[in-house]
Amino acid sequence: MEFPYNIQNENIDSWETVMFIYGAALKNVRAKVEILADELKYVHKMNPIEHVESRLKEAESIVKKLKRHGYESTIENMVKYVKDIAGVRIVCSFTSDIYKLADMISGQADVTILEICDYIQTPKPSGYMSYHMIVSVPVYLSDQVVDTCVEIQIRTVAMDFWASLEHKIQYKFEGNAPEFISRDLRACAKIVANLDTRMLALNTAVQETGGRT
C-alpha cells in the first residue's frame, strides 16, 4: 500500500486515517463481489454465492500479529506487514465455484493480485482449507488515489463450517488444543473434503441430466 500520509506518527488521527482507508477498500471489494453475485443470479441464472462477510481487523489482533512476526507495533509496520487488515469472505456452494469466482475477481481491471494461497489443493497442517487472495484495490480520495490491500477468502459452506468450529476450539484453548482434539479436527477436515467432492459430483450429475441448480 503506497501511503501518502505521515504514518510514522502514531497519533489517533493517523490511526483513524489508516483505518478509514482500509474501510473504504473493504467497501470497494465487497461491492464488487455483490455486483458479481447479482449478475450471476439475475443475468446468468446461477447462484454460486451462499453469503458474503467482511470485517476490519481489531487493533489488538493487529498488534498480536506484528509481535508474533517480530515487528514493533507501529502504524508503518501495520501497513507494510499485515496484509489482512481488511478481509472479505465469500462462501460458495461448490469447490468449482471457488476458482470461477477467483478468476472473475482477478480479471477486473482495477484489481491487482499480490498473493495467492490455495489451501484447498494444499491444506494447512491443521486441516484448514480455503482459497486466499491478497489483492490491491484503489481508494479514490478527494485529492489522490491510495492502493490498498484486502484479503479475500473463498470457501465452501462445508469448509466454512469446519473453520468456524476450529476457530472456536482453538480460541478456547488459546491455540494449544490437546493432540486428540487436533487429530479429530484433521479427521473432520478430510470428511469435509470428501463431502465437497461428492456434492460437486452430484451437482455435475444433476446438470448433465438437465436439472436446475
**pTM (2 d.p.):** 0.89
- CB count in 10 Å sphere of residue 184: 14
Is 12-157 in CATH node 1.10.10.10? no
- Residue 211 pLDDT: 61
pLDDT tens series, the chain, 213 aa: 444 433 344 443 588 889 999 999 999 999 999 999 999 999 988 889 999 999 999 999 999 999 999 999 888 899 999 999 999 999 999 999 999 999 999 999 999 999 999 999 999 999 999 999 999 999 999 888 999 999 999 999 999 999 999 999 988 887 788 999 999 999 999 999 999 999 999 999 998 887 655
**In sequence order, what are the beta bridge partners of 93?**
none
- Residue 8 pLDDT: 40
Crossing angle for the helix pair 179-208 and 95-106, to the nearest 10 degrees: 80
- Which residues neighbour 45 within 8 Å (Cβ) at sequence distance 6 or greater? none
- Residue 108 pLDDT: 96
- Which residues neighbour 85 within 8 Å (Cβ) at sequence distance 6 or greater? 22, 56, 57, 62, 78, 149
By annotation, the residues acting in catalysis are 151
Q: Are strands 86-92 and 145-156 parallel, antiparallel or unpaired?
A: parallel
Asked if 174 contacts 112 with a C-beta cutoff of 8 angstroms, the reply is no
- Residue 213 pLDDT: 56
